[in-house]
Structure 1
């Protein structure tokens, strides 16, 4: 294998320092395999981003080590460039890595997967662009790879992020804490440039991978490489229905329930009526306040992974870059 240059960006705080340790091990193993590795980790996401963007044009791949938020950061850095995004899951949730079938907190297996992918054709996946749309909001754009949470799941995510328990436990606990006082939210939506309409819904999620909340299969048939997103809504259901709903999402059988609707979309503008306020979450991280616009960016990210065993892959020209 020719000497390739890989940037390594580990989140020093993910999973209470586990990502930093795993990152050092992966970097050492890549170096032993003949890969030139440049450490781009920093004390903050801002510093790490600046370091990565400074050398991005010289990289074959950017390998991120951490959870879903770190993966989103990596996607923002490499989207629209020839640089491939490698993922070493070592965070709390790791939901996007689960959707890819990647091993968690396993430096040796992660390194083997990265080296294998470097010899495989390039695979492209979609990204979700999230842009603030409020009249008085400062322009802000971010990217996500997995999902954008716009309802009860966003409120739960905010509570779960403040807990130190394991991710699945704190997400489930947050669901139980929020349910007693939760009521459906009054949304307005515009889908793919169509006319505005209104719904009252407790749950609204825009999905590419369809997996979040520590392994919830929110949209079981979602694909990360089909050029579209899936808008899941739960309409006409109350908090008692949500109690029956959430235990089923880990197996994906909730889609059979009355009131659950999944629409294929490319772009969605969404806001709340009556002056209500809600902050969206995407890939586990806080994003813009509603209203916002989210749209799919087909094939925006070149992924350093072999998806052929998991689902049909979409290859583009070239092998190892």
Structure 2
């Protein structure tokens, strides 16, 4: 009998109950494999996190069942510990699973992959640490594995979370609705401790995986284990052009669009020049702090029960280094409630 003890954290509300069924199936299959499974699920993310933290030191792995927000919650629990994070993707967007080539809405195949990874060498991936930069009150800290959305992408994410349609369809319709009243936002940005500069941008995204919006490959060569993040911006573009931009992302034909810029960074601080404006950021599909915000890379912070796809591993080919350039200036995710 295996001595492995695995915590199972399921977001029962993800994907209209799909995650609840997937969680029950995953627990059953793990127990058949001889693994001790402790259910850590709760009615809220805070309760589930508290339960997991109480027993974390006794776990070999924490398996999360749900969407990108649930995976981010799992990352916060296991961050910088020997506990490995396993994923049973059963959310709406499933962008992290797409980036890692993990099974989606397939609990048996997911469990097979987890069991295989448990016998393999440890794989560590980077995470995004997000901290509020508001002048009053204690700083709010959270983690993300995929994206931090700070522009039109954040507004779309907020609307998409309220919608009922699945995956990329939900995201596409939200884009159309938000376009009716959107104008570029006036940012002030500091990159890697450098001098702050102004930028008016439609989209502003900090990404680790490069995948967003139910399968859009915003940064096709983004790496999850190279110690860098990609800061993506879209500037100087009209509403009609912005509408045409998103289908091009699905086809991978967006990188040549004028005004689309990607730079590799380790740390950023972003605020709005207009103090009367307010914008809530989103990360891995969930609402986070209001701007201003600071974010930085946490190299190798999460041990993941998965193999990094060869073309997306820093050890097998790094992405080109795009140096910061204040003249050129520095995008979106969709997920479940938590």
Considering the TM-score relative to the shorter chain, is it more than 0.5? yes
Q: How many Å separate the matches in 2 of 1:184 and 1:311?
A: 32
Asked if 1:62 corresponds to 2:62, the answer is yes
**Number of the residue aligned with 2:287:** 286
Q: How many Å separate the matches in 2 of 1:308 and 1:127?
A: 17
Q: How many Å separate the matches in 2 of 1:309 and 1:267?
A: 26
Q: CA RMSD in A?
A: 1.4
* Equivalenced residues, count: 315
**Number of the residue aligned with 1:13:** 13
3-state SS of the aligned residue for 2:26? helix
Cα contact 1:184–1:238 (8 A) shared by 2: no
**Number of the residue aligned with 1:301:** 302
**Number of the residue aligned with 1:317:** none
Cα contact 2:100–2:309 (8 A) shared by 1: no
Cα contact 2:127–2:298 (8 A) shared by 1: yes
Cα displacement (A) at 1:18: 1.0
Cα displacement (A) at 1:252: 2.1
Asked if 1:209 corresponds to 2:212, the answer is no
Structure 1 portions without partners, runs of 5+: 315-321
Cα displacement (A) at 1:310: 5.5
Mean CA deviation greater in 133-142 or 223-232: 133-142
TM-score relative to the length of structure 1:
0.95
- CA 1:43–1:67: 2 relative to 1, 3 Å: same
**Number of the residue aligned with 1:255:** 255
Cα contact 2:129–2:144 (8 A) shared by 1: yes
Q: How many Å separate the matches in 1 of 2:268 and 2:304?
A: 25
3-state SS of the aligned residue for 2:251? coil
- CA 1:310–1:59: 2 relative to 1, 3 Å: farther
Asked if 1:36 corresponds to 2:31, the answer is no
**Number of the residue aligned with 1:144:** 144
- CA 1:308–1:270: 2 relative to 1, 3 Å: closer
Per-residue CA deviations over 1:78-116 (Å, capped at 9, x if unaligned) read 001000000000011111111111111111101100000
Cα contact 1:5–1:36 (8 A) shared by 2: yes
Cα displacement (A) at 1:36: 0.9
Cα contact 2:130–2:143 (8 A) shared by 1: yes
TM-score relative to the length of structure 2:
0.91
